[in-house]
Amino acid sequence: MRVDDAGFSAEPRVVTGLSRRETEVMELIANGHSNGEIARHLFLSEKTVKNHVNRIYAKLGVDSRVTAIDVWLEQVSRDTPH
């Protein structure tokens, strides 16, 4: 996966249950980006990013960024061929 100088991935990983856009948002969250940074990078409003984050939380069954990152990283490592 390529990551640019700002830490944004050029090719999001696919995680079961998340849409492509949700996966892009989740990857940026996992890299420590704020909703505002994500919005600017993806050319979205911050409200749209918040909506994506809420859907991600619901799909992952979590209620915080930290827990979402933990669950997401576990799924990515499980779904990535070794």
Which residue is associated with the tokens 């969250």?
29
| pLDDT for 7 | 55
Answer whether residue 3 shows pLDDT above 60: no
| pLDDT for 51 | 98
| pLDDT for 1 | 42
Q: What is the pLDDT of residues 9-45, one digit of tens each?
A: 555 555 668 999 999 999 999 999 999 999 999 999 9
Dihedral over alpha carbons 20, 24, 27, 31 (to 10 degrees): 180
Q: What is the pLDDT of residues 52-72, one digit of tens each?
A: 999 999 999 999 999 999 999
Which residue is associated with the tokens 């704020």?
34
**Secondary structure of 32-66 in the HEC alphabet?**
CCCHHHHHHHHCCCHHHHHHHHHHHHHHHCCCCHH
Which residue is associated with the tokens 């995680």?
15
Answer whether residue 2 shows pLDDT above 80: no
